[in-house]
């Protein structure tokens, strides 16, 4: 069997493996019911959907011919480092600095990964995402996420 698009092949494999891993990992938790879903309900469903998407992309990569085989280009190291670094930093920032500081930092740091970075647009994006996150997670779902730095809460 010939791979007709390298990009689609490896993207499909990634989605298939990650989605399958999430679905498999969710099997260790209780599913609950549709009326009262348990902790496995959402990760399992999302994992299955992701694996199905990966299978579809993989099928496409093996059956639909492309002009040049869609080779994989060089790794984009700058965006990879900035985005992975911002997400890892967010993991530390959230419990120590709170959501109102950690989330804008996440958005601003990850926005620097783009070659088209504009501070004004990144700040607007950070404000909207922070307000939306507060509305959904704090007000709507009543989750106990720290909002301000831990040293101010004492």
Q: What is the 3-state secondary structure (H, E, C) of 39-91?
A: CCHHHHHHHHHHHHHHHHHHHHHHHCCCCCCCCCCCCCHHHHHHHHHHHHHHH
Mean pLDDT, range 97-108, rounded to an integer? 96
Query: Number of H helices and number of E strands within the chain?
Result: 6, 0
Identify whether residues 142 and 96 lie together within a single domain: yes
d(CA 43, CA 13): 19
Q: With cut-offs at 50, 70 and 90, classify the pLDDT of residue 1.
A: confident
Identify whether residues 147 and 81 lie together within a single domain: yes
Answer yes or no: is 72 within a domain: no
Answer yes or no: is 70 within a domain: no
Identify whether residues 45 and 22 lie together within a single domain: yes
Whether pLDDT at 25 is above 90: yes
Identify whether residues 49 and 96 lie together within a single domain: no
Contact assessment for residue 9 and residue 58, using Cβ atoms and an 8 Å cutoff = yes
What integer pLDDT is reported at residue 154 of this predicted model? 61
Answer yes or no: is 147 within a domain: yes
Answer yes or no: is 26 within a domain: yes
Query: pLDDT, tens digit, for every residue of 50-96?
Result: 999 999 999 999 988 877 767 788 888 999 999 999 999 999 999 99
What integer pLDDT is reported at residue 152 of this predicted model? 81
Whether pLDDT at 48 is above 90: yes
Q: Which two tokens stand for residue 70?
A: 């869609």
Identify whether residues 144 and 85 lie together within a single domain: yes
Answer yes or no: is 142 within a domain: yes
Answer yes or no: is 10 within a domain: yes
The total number of structural domains in the chain stands at 2
Identify whether residues 15 and 41 lie together within a single domain: yes
Domain that holds residue 31: 6-63
Q: What are phi and psi of 71, to 5 degrees?
A: -65, 155
């Amino acid at each position: 069997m010939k791979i007709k698009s390298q990009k689609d092949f490896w993207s499909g494999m990634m989605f298939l493996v990650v989605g399958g891993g999430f679905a498999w990992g969710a099997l260790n938790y209780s599913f609950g019911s549709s009326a009262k879903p348990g902790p496995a309900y959402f990760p399992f469903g999302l994992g299955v959907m992701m694996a199905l998407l990966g299978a579809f992309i993989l099928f496409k990569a093996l059956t639909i011919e492309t002009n040049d085989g869609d080779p994989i280009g060089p790794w984009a190291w700058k965006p990879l480092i900035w985005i992975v670094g911002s997400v890892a930093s967010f993991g530390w920032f959230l419990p120590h600095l709170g959501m109102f500081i950690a989330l804008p930092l996440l958005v601003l740091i990850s926005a620097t990964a783009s070659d088209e970075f504009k501070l004004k647009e990144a700040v607007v994006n950070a404000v909207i995402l922070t307000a939306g996150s507060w509305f959904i997670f704090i007000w709507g779902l009543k989750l106990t996420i720290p909002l301000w730095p831990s040293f101010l809460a004492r």
